Structure 1
Amino acid sequence: MGRVEGKVAFITGAARGQGRSHALRLAQEGADIIAIDVAEDIPSVTRFYPGATEADLAETVAQVEALDRRIVASKVDVRDYDALKGALDTGVAELGHVDIVSANAGIFLHSDKTHEVSDSDWDDVLDINLKGVWHTVKAAIPHLIAQGTGGSIVLTSSTAGIKGTPNVAPYTASKHGVVGLMKTLALELAEHNIRVNSIHPTGVATDMILNETTFKLFLPDEEHPTREQAAPVFQSTNALPVPWVEPIDISNALLFLASDEARYVTGLELKVDAGYTTK
């Protein structure tokens, strides 16, 4: 028996990166998957890194199916509540229930001082990283309550949800907001045996940070900084001697919180940060 055998997990931002890793790790341990992703470029983001694609989402589907698990995948923007709810309802109708919610979808914009951030950038980050998380749980909670079997909701925050981070005010504000939402939901849903926690990664080796514009945050004097140049600077921000962690490291934390091993864990800010927030 896998650690989440027979459960169904609803994962946002599942086309690549952490979201795909979460889907595969939970599938390896016996879960079926309801996966969504915007699977297209977001204009404010593409000046930093390209968006996921429909081909990326199809690859997630193929990899989950290769593990002999079922998956229902949809191209959905978390900002569109009706479409999000529709995709989840369709997945629940096909797979029978939902037990695990991973509100993972998010974007990362940077490089401006707080007073220089445009309204459109602020709105995109808050609408996806915070309102999108709220939409995700808003759609899932009625299913979890009606089933009467409890459940686990895991919200992806960040080390930026614990401490201030210069030049990324919208992201930092959104990730702090996720923590407030998590703590409120943990209290509201405890009577239904629904646990709510947040995960706080340091930098994760995905397209979101492994790009030239993010490297320039740490190496502003380099015209075209490389991954090799950036790694030592990233490492200097962590206590452990690593520049960043891998998606599987976050997925393993999610698996624990989703499993019955964490049956009495709720309201927790689980840091997978290589000691970043202790420095």
Structure 2
Amino acid sequence: MVFRSEGRGCAVLKDRTVMITGASSGIGAATARYVAARGAAVVLMARREDKLKALAGEITAAGGRALACPGDVTSAEDVRGVVAAAVDSFGSLDAAFNNAGWGTAGARLHELSEDVYDRIMDVNVRGTWNCLRQQIPVMLAGNGGGAIVNTSSIAGQFATGAAAPYVAAKHAVIGMTKAAAAEYGEQGIRVNALVVGTTRTELMEGVIEQYPEVEKQAVARTVQRRMAEPLEIARAAAWLLSDDSSFVTGAAVPVDGGCSAV
């Protein structure tokens, strides 16, 4: 991979094309704004077309480059279309943040329906798999590699109180990340995972509204005794997507307020 360094500070992504899933709100939207402000063209994927178009319009109005591509990561065809749109519109796919996820809490393993299990596994595991399968060939055929970041969770390292299938799915994301990093490292593709602590996203707010005790439990686990803001996760994702992290691959990087320290 050809390393490029522009300006000062981490996560400079000028002239890169970055695909972001789960981009309609929360961590995905924050990352889109952050990397676009640092020169990247962003390709935004999520199911909610209205929110995607509004975000793309916001980024474009601020002088950035953004393309809204509605789709569902559980559909291989949808993901294929978004990857193709990235190449058609911006000429390459240099980096990807596979951030789409879904989970729930409050119900024990034996109380969960098969539908909930299927959705959790499809979005978190199959969705990541679908993205990697479509992104990697384009990067291999491109200008010497790429950088991919997959969103895992502290639930990918220990039981958190989230639903058991979510804990299993986020463990799987870390395993898939390590396998992909090992398989494609010599060809210039870096693959890392973010181990994300509890963050004030739309999904989390919904869980807290349904199960208020979750907020107290989540904050109690952290050294900093608070939840993250989406921008704090976005900064870490952007660093891993940039050449500033050029010797980091196959890593599960904690951005968790110190949960992993205790």
Instruction: Compute the TM-score of the two structures, normalised by the length of structure 1.
Output: 0.86
Separation in 1 of the partners of 2:89 and 2:78?
17
Q: Quick check: 2:73–2:130 contact (8 Å CA) kept in 1?
A: yes
Which residue of 2 is the match for residue 277 of structure 1? 260
Task: State the 1:119 CA deviation.
Answer: 0.7
One-letter amino acid matched to 1:104: N
**Are 1:115 and 2:115 counterparts?**
no
Superposition CA RMSD, Å:
1.6
**Are 1:37 and 2:46 counterparts?**
yes
Task: State the 1:165 CA deviation.
Answer: 2.4
Which residue of 1 is the match for residue 3 of structure 2? none
The alignment-based identity, stated in percent, is 30
Counterpart mapping for 1:122-137 below 5 A: 122-137=117-132
**Are 1:238 and 2:222 counterparts?**
yes
Any runs of at least 4 consecutive aligned residues in structure 1 with deviations exceeding 6 A, and if so which? none
Which residue of 2 is the match for residue 48 of structure 1? none
Q: Quick check: 1:197–1:270 contact (8 Å CA) kept in 2?
A: yes
Separation in 2 of the partners of 1:94 and 1:8?
10
Task: State the 1:69 CA deviation.
Answer: 2.0
Counterpart mapping for 1:163-202 below 5 A: 163-202=158-197
Separation in 1 of the partners of 2:134 and 2:23?
17
Separation in 2 of the partners of 1:18 and 1:240?
19
One-letter amino acid matched to 2:168: A
Relative to 1, partners in 2 of residues 1:65 and 1:101: Cα closer, same or farther, differing over 3 Å?
same
Give the secondary-structure state (helix, strand or coil) at the position aligned to 1:154: strand
One-letter amino acid matched to 1:192: Q
Separation in 2 of the partners of 1:101 and 1:167?
26
One-letter amino acid matched to 2:213: L
Which residue of 1 is the match for residue 90 of structure 2? 95
**Are 1:249 and 2:232 counterparts?**
yes
One-letter amino acid matched to 1:249: E
Separation in 1 of the partners of 2:225 and 2:167?
24
Relative to 1, partners in 2 of residues 1:144 and 1:172: Cα closer, same or farther, differing over 3 Å?
same
Unaligned runs of 5+ in 1: 40-53, 221-229
More contact order relative to length (CA 8 Å, sep ≥ 6): 2
Give the secondary-structure state (helix, strand or coil) at the position aligned to 1:34: strand
Separation in 2 of the partners of 1:239 and 1:90?
42
Task: State the 1:64 CA deviation.
Answer: 1.5
Instruction: Compute the TM-score of the two structures, normalised by the length of structure 2.
Output: 0.92
**Are 1:60 and 2:55 counterparts?**
yes
Question: Could you report, residue by residue, the CA deviation over 1:151-194 in whole angstroms, capped at 9, with x for unpaired residues?
Answer: 10000000001111235111111100000000000000101111
Which residue of 1 is the match for residue 17 of structure 2? 8
Q: Quick check: 2:18–2:96 contact (8 Å CA) kept in 1?
A: yes
Q: Quick check: 1:154–1:197 contact (8 Å CA) kept in 2?
A: yes
Task: State the 1:12 CA deviation.
Answer: 0.6
